[in-house]
Every structure is written in C-alpha cells, then in structure tokens.
Amino acid sequence: MATKSENLNLSPGFIRRLLRENRAQGRALASHELRRALEELQNPELFELKIDFHNTASARDVELPSIIVDPVSKLLPRLNVPIGAIVWEENADKLPVVGILTSASDSEALRAGLKALLTAHASDPFARFVFLCTSFAAIPFLGRYQFAYEYIGENYGDVSFKRAAIRYGFEEVRSLVGAELQWKHTHN
C-alpha cells in the first residue's frame, strides 16, 4: 500500500500525459455519443411515446411555484447546465446558457431540429442548452445525452421562461425549429 508521501510524488510529465489522454478520450467519447445520437434521430418513431393508461382522466396543466417575485430564490445558486455528452469542451462552463423551446408537435420537425442543432453544436460548441419542453416526448432522448431540460407544458408563456431563466441563468430562449427568438431577458 502506498503511503501518503509516495502519492504526492507524481511527476509533472506523468500528469501532463494523463491530461492529454483525458482530452483524447473525452473527444473520442463525445464523437461516439454524437454518432449514436444522430443514428437515434434517424428513427421515425423515436419521439412517439406509446403509453396507454386506459381510460384515465387528462392531467391538469403544470402549475409551477412562482419564484419570480420570491427574493430568496434570486439568492440561490443557479442550477448546473451541462454541455451534453456529444461535445468535448475544456472550458464548457465559460459558454453562455441558452434556452431552447422544443414545442414542435411534429415528430419529424423535432428530429430534424435536434439533428441540425446537435450537428452544429458538435462541430463548434457555442452554448450550453436548457431544453424547455412542451411535451414529454424528447425528454428521454435529452436525458440520455446529458442535456438540461425542463418540462414547461403546452400553455407556456413569459412566466415559464422567466422562471427557468432564474433557475438556469440564460438570457434568451430560441425555438428549436428555425432558431427564432422567443423571449429575451430584460434587465430592470
């Protein structure tokens, strides 16, 4: 068993080699995850959640607690927003956080939008995403590839965006399909 003093005598060359190997393996793993995600997005049934609860009543719309006017919530640290498993970026925490509204009810549009966004993101990482989902369809996929997401329901609005902006720290929300600006934080 190594003693404490033996563990502290690691050479700088050994540490540099470990860092190089970590970067190389991180990039290789991210490349593999991207290929896997793009293959999954080829499946036309990917977002077709086929769950039958047999004669159950529809759930009420989501009623999220209001943290917008709560002074304590503004003092809490923001939630961590990962860059996703499909990208390797050494300084990912320096990238801005952007909300992405996934309101596409059409599975094909959702798959095409995600494919375009993830391909652009993997080639040149430009942001960390919080996917604001109006349905549960994309959540399993987003979770598998370590993206941040939040279910905001179909009756979303500025309140949903403001609440998520306080929690995650983004300044704007863009649509997944078309990248149109949906909401921008106004500083008062």
Report how far residue 8's alpha carbon sits from residue 136's, in angstroms, rounded to the nearest whole number: 49
pLDDT of residue 5: 53
In the chain, which residues have pLDDT < 50?
Answer: none
pLDDT of residue 116: 96
**Is residue 95 packed enough to be buried (19+ CB in 10 Å), middle (13-18) or exposed (0-12)?**
middle
pLDDT of residue 117: 97
Strand-strand pairing, 181-184 and 172-175: antiparallel
pLDDT of residue 22: 80
Pair of tokens at residue 75? 């003092």
Pair of tokens at residue 98? 């952007």
What phi-psi label fits residue 178: left (phi over 0), alpha (psi between -120 and 50 degrees) or beta?
left
- Pick from 169, 162, 141, 138: which is nearest to 151 by CA? 138
